[in-house]
Chains A and B, each alone.
Chain A
Amino acid sequence: MATNPILVIGAGPVGLAAALDLAQRGQSVEVLDAGHSVSDGSRAICWAKRTLEIFHRLGLELVPSGITWQRGRVFKGARDLYQFDLQPGGLQQQPAFINLAQADVERALLDQLAGLGVPVRRGHTVVGVAPRDNGVSLEVETADGQLTLDTPWLLACDGARSTIRRCLGLPFKGKVFEDRFLIADVRMAADYPTERWFWFDPPFHPGQSALLHRQPNNIWRIDLQLGWDADPDHERQPAQILPRLHQMLGDRAFELVWASVYTFQCRRIERFAHGRVLFAGDSAHQVSPFGARGANSGIQDIDNLVWKLDRVIRGASPETLLASYDLERIEAADDNIGHSTRSTDFIAPKGPWAQALRGAVLDLAATHAFARPMVNSGRLSQASVYRASPLSSADTGFAAGPKPGMAIPDAPLGDRWLISSLGAGASLVRFGATLPAPDLTGIDVPADSVAWTRFDATPGTAYLVRPDGYVAARSRTPTPDWLATATARAMGASQ
């Protein structure tokens, strides 16, 4: 019997990355999208190191086309409060961040998918979803009429307004922030350094906040806080936008490329795995943009999900392995929502006490280092930590290095890099250990590598690393029994 392909709904970065990861693992997959082209406007622009590592695994090299950055600067009024560096240690293959328009990321993913012959069907609008035993039936409207499609697995990557979520009646619960923000992309020749600049109460936009980010091709992203009383329809008019930008940019010539007015929400669905329907990205969880935790967390969802789904479909792991996707990525979503909520609460303090406290932190931060870690203009996306993962084994005797449930740090291994040396399956990273690694990718770390410090390794140490680059187990005295037990657990064997 021919098996129907896995269907991915949504051709944004998350859906396209899911399809690419599945296809590269040999799965039959198709993408359906209601729209007719790549996304317009800039939307997501900041791609974090963890995302770039995942894209690299998928064969995408975006760094040359993006703007690489790792430093930020925070201003209060006209005063330069302090600077920060997201990657002071260096010696990693990928930079802390690149800025690149979402549409360019989508085009790069589409090129890879085309090379593998994966169909991306646009103008396909899902209008009905019926879960059944071992699969899902979909009603899809196209220009040529309505289709019924059956699939064994449905990946709902159809964004914050997910049709799949609505069809299944899943509540999307959380908090609306009572504030409005103007997001604009302008084209201008400017020689500002390639840094993230954030202003509290800037002279050009008093009483509110502002953010400036550089993108490729002389495009600059500007976020201006407008307050809850701002009328979004009025604020969207160029006649209203241009004077605000002139206030900020002075006499410099610029062209308004794209703009919109947003209200931000932090919310998620209760569970991401619903039998054969799996939610990932904004369809499952939504955050404010401060911290770049939207698209970056969606790509991490895919990195977590696809190796598990591939093993389940191949019969190498029980279907219960997918429960760990739910558990781990819900923990990640809650972490992202917590960070995003705290950032938004700091950027837009509500009530006299929150405003006084925020003011006090900013007043002290210029001269007193202790107050700077409290300044919150967005806590930028990093690899999530899975503190309660059922796939992790307990460890003992380590004072530092990545714990089970944490993504491994990168490090140079002679003329290659540790993360890009990981296998498609699990890997065993050995520090002078002689333990054989049957059915795993064995990686021996040379004696002079900075990886020894980064992993708190002593001679004989070994790390078992999952296909998504997360530590499953580690030991200073690894044995074949330890490895067999930890590998079985990491691959979802019932305990």
Chain B
Amino acid sequence: MSGLITTPNLANPDALYAELVAMAGDLSAEEALNRAARLILLLANHIGDPAVVSHAIQLAVAADQAD
């Protein structure tokens, strides 16, 4: 396994969600996408381990079929 944590791991999920909304909440889709991409790059570099990032990418893609 890659070591990607998929069980609840946040002390305050509501606060994080609100912070993420506030990060780009008043922007156009294009501007928000740019900001989100920067966040992804910063977090991916912090994680470092390519297996963890790849696993997260797989799960993000797989969620398309989640309905």
Contacts and interface: CB of A to CB of B under 8 A. Distances in A.
Contacts of B34: 356, 359-360, 363
Q: Which 5 A-B pairs have the closest CB atoms?
A: A360-B37, A356-B33, A360-B38, A370-B45, A356-B37
A369 to B, nearest CB: 10
Interface in A356-390: 356-357, 359-361, 363-364, 368, 370-371, 374
Interface residues of B, number: 10
B57 interface: no
A437 to B, nearest CB: 43
A87 to B, nearest CB: 27
Given A364-B42, A370-B45, A357 B30 contact: no
Nearest to A360: B37
B41 A364 contact: yes
Nearest to B40: A360
A360 B30 contact: no
- Interface of B (DSSP majority class): helix
A363 B38 contact: yes
B29 to A, nearest CB: 8
A359 B37 contact: yes
Nearest to B31: A356
A368 B38 CA distance: 11
A353 B37 CA distance: 9
5 contacts: A356-B30, A356-B33, A359-B37, A360-B38, A371-B41
Interface of B: 30, 33-34, 36-38, 40-42, 45
Prevailing SS type, chain A contact patch:
helix
Nearest to B45: A370
A352 B33 CA distance: 8
A357 B45 CA distance: 14
Contacts of A370: 45
Contacts of A361: 41
A179 B38 CA distance: 26
Contacts of B38: 360, 363-364
B46 to A, nearest CB: 9
A361 B42 CA distance: 10
B41 A352 contact: no
Contacts of A352: 30, 33
Contacts of B42: 364, 368
Contacts of A371: 41, 45
A352 B41 CA distance: 16
A353 B33 contact: yes
